[in-house]
Structure 1
Amino acid sequence: MNIHGKKVILRAIEETDLPLLHQWANDPEIWKMLGGWHFPSSFEYQKKWFAALGTDQLNQRFAVEAPGVGLIGTTNLVDVDWKNNNAFHGVMLGAKDIRGKGYGIDTIMSVMRFAFEELHLERLDTTIIEYNTISLNIYTNKCGWKHEGTRRNWYFRNNRYWDRLEMGITRADYFALVEESNYWADDQG
């Protein structure tokens, strides 16, 4: 089953995606904008990561594909808590030439639609490094997420500490956004 947005398709990550994912995994310009710690990784490591994807029901990762363009990134729903109906969400657009064209917004909206309308989750969480103002703008001003807190001096980058912005959205927030923006109005899905 693929998840269709207005501009993107979220699908399973396939073995044929690994060369491009490996390239992005070793691009410091991409990873400085994301949380977590990253080491240079080999293609062998990438294959082992891929082999473990299908067995993990609490951590779902998707390829982000744009029709006519191809693979442009990945997104996820991880640390899924089925008892309390919440999950952590992240997105990484690796293809630099597609940025600023609405693919990130559509990816986030598509993940929210799947999480809230299909999985019946109650909330999603994410974190943003304080200097990633592009992501902060997309999540808060375009996709309805709320800044729920700050963890000071959380990330260490370029020989200094940066704050971690805690972001969240609830089912009610999502449905209010969709009603106000008519985001899915032209969609038949």
Structure 2
Amino acid sequence: MIELKGKKVVLRALEPEDLDFLYLLENDTRLWEVSGTQQPYSRHVLKQYLENAHRDIYEVKQLRMAICNLGGDLLGLIDLFDFDPKHLRVGLGLVILAEEDRNKGMGAEAVELITDYAFNALNVRQVYAHVLENNDASMRLFEKSGYVKTATKKDWVRWQGAFKDQFLYQKFNPSCI
């Protein structure tokens, strides 16, 4: 499995020891608006997920990696999802769990590392991300990382009785035809 290392973070494969972190993250109801989660995950289900996390992106169409600081502390997760080798595109999502670990450039570096991986190892033409209208931090992160807001999906996400717009951010691989 790959490991991607930057100046602030390391992206590594998920390990069985990540179960407690994954359980906290997946069951944090503050994140459900973004993830689309509607019910809690059990440790059993997440353990099974971790047992299969090694599967190839060409088979399962996704890749989830741990975002760690250089000391090895697990900070968050970054995902490539809906990998489409025919149309040469893949979605990107990330979360840094603890508020005190955000806005320090680690998310931006993680996005840069995984985008480079998608362009160079997977040879995709584009990487895209969906960002809710009220997520200013994510908009800044993707814009800082060279992504461009190309579309607005009006009233796309319904959460707690209200509808929100969702923006589409895209970054194109300059070396891919």
Query: Which residue identity lines up with residue 80 of structure 1 in the other structure?
Result: F
Displacement of 1:66 = 0.7
Q: Which moved more, 1:12-21 or 1:153-162?
A: 153-162
Query: Which residue identity lines up with residue 155 of structure 2 in the other structure?
Result: N
Distance in structure 1 (CA, Å) of the matches to 2:39 and 2:134: 21
Query: Which residue identity lines up with residue 134 of structure 2 in the other structure?
Result: Y
Query: Which residue identity lines up with residue 147 of structure 1 in the other structure?
Result: K
Displacement of 1:131 = 0.7
Instruction: Give the root-mean-square deviation of aligned CA atoms.
Output: 1.7
Q: Which moved more, 1:130-139 or 1:34-43?
A: 34-43
The answer for the alignment partner of 1:38 in structure 2 is: 38
Distance in structure 1 (CA, Å) of the matches to 2:104 and 2:38: 27
The answer for the alignment partner of 1:3 in structure 2 is: 4
Query: Which residue identity lines up with residue 143 of structure 1 in the other structure?
Result: S
The answer for the alignment partner of 1:182 in structure 2 is: none
Tell me the number of residue pairs that the alignment of Structure 1 and Structure 2 aligns.
171
Give TM-score, length-normalised by structure 1: 0.84
The answer for the alignment partner of 1:164 in structure 2 is: 166
Contact map agreement 1:30 1:94 (CA 8 A) in 2: no
Distance in structure 1 (CA, Å) of the matches to 2:7 and 2:116: 12
Q: Helix, strand or coil: the match of 1:125?
A: strand
The answer for the alignment partner of 1:178 in structure 2 is: none
Query: Which residue identity lines up with residue 70 of structure 2 in the other structure?
Result: P
Contact map agreement 2:16 2:51 (CA 8 A) in 1: no
> What aligned pairs does 1:119-130 form with structure 2 within 5 A after superposition?
119-130=122-133
Query: Which residue identity lines up with residue 136 of structure 1 in the other structure?
Result: M
- Structure 1 gaps, min length 5: 174-189
The answer for the alignment partner of 1:48 in structure 2 is: 48
The answer for the alignment partner of 2:64 in structure 1 is: 61
Identical aligned pairs, as a percentage?
26
Distance in structure 2 (CA, Å) of the matches to 1:121 and 1:70: 30
